[in-house]
Amino acid sequence: MVFQGALHSLNPVQRVDRQVAEPIVLHARVSAAQARSRARALLGQVGIPESRAGDYPHPLSGGQRQRVMIPWPSPATPRSSSPTSRPPPWM
């Protein structure tokens, strides 16, 4: 889910690529430089150009802020191919 007010979820004093890289460092256990390059790649996949990835959140447009939120909660490599632990009851 991507909320309308993405600016409220982003830290205004940290650059966008650093905010996306933080969970990568914590969960994937990679260096900060590797996490930042992966964050820039993820931002590129959602349409944030490389030149804007190092910006603070406030100069980005509303749509760009929302696109920053897409890779932010789940940038780490998933541990399973299934999003749930068991099949739905109707199967």
Task: For residue range 5-43, list pLDDT tens digits in order.
Answer: 778 889 999 999 999 999 888 888 889 999 999 999 999
What per-residue confidence (pLDDT) applies to 90?
A: 61
Output the six-digit token pair for 55: 């910006």
Report the predicted TM-score, pTM, of the whole model to 2 decimal places.
Answer: 0.74
User: Which of these, 53, 55, 60, 61, lies nearest to 37 by C-alpha position?
Assistant: 53
Contacts for 58 with CB less than 8 Å, ≥ 6 apart: 7, 12
Half-sphere exposure of 33 (CA within 13 A, CB side): 0
Looking at the predicted structure, is the pLDDT value of residue 76 above 60?
A: no
Q: Which residue has the tokens 């509303």?
A: 62
